[in-house]
Amino acid sequence: MQRVKRRLAAIMCADVAQYSTLMERDEDGTLDRLKTYRDVMSSLTDRHNGRIVNTWGDAVIIEFGSVMEAVQCAIEIQNELTHRNADLPDMNRMEFRIGINLGDIMVEGEDIYGDGVNVAARLQELSPRGGIMLSKSVHEQVKTKMAVGFDPLGPQHVKNVSEPVDTYSVRLGGRNAPEKRPMGEAKDGGGKPRSSPNDTEAHPHLNKDTQAVANGFEQARRWLKAQPKRVRSCVFMIGFFFILNLLTSGLSTLWFVWPSLPFALALVWHFMVERREKKLGDDPQHGD
Higher pLDDT, 287 or 242: 242
DSSP 101-135: EEEEEEEETTEEESHHHHHHHHHHHHSPTT-EEEE
Task: Give strand pairing partners of 105.
Answer: 7
Angle between helices 229-249 and 257-282 (to 10 degrees): 150
Q: What whole-number distance in Å separates Cα of residue 145 and Cα of residue 74?
A: 15
Task: Give me the chain's average pLDDT, please.
Answer: 80
- Mean pLDDT of the 212-241 span: 72
Q: What is the pTM of this model?
A: 0.60
pLDDT tens track for 148-187:
899 999 888 877 777 888 999 999 864 444 444 444 444 4
pLDDT band at 274 (very low <50, low <70, confident <90, very high): low
Can you say whether residue 80 is alpha, beta or left, with left for phi > 0 and alpha for psi between -120 and 50 degrees? Answer: alpha
pLDDT recorded at residue 239: 84
pLDDT band at 268 (very low <50, low <70, confident <90, very high): confident
Segments making up each domain of the chain, as ranges: 5-171, 200-283
* pLDDT over threshold 70, residue 225: no
pLDDT tens track for 4-37:
788 899 999 999 999 999 999 899 999 999 999 9
Helix, coil or strand: residue 184? coil
* pLDDT over threshold 80, residue 277: no
CATH code for residues 5-171: 3.30.70.1230
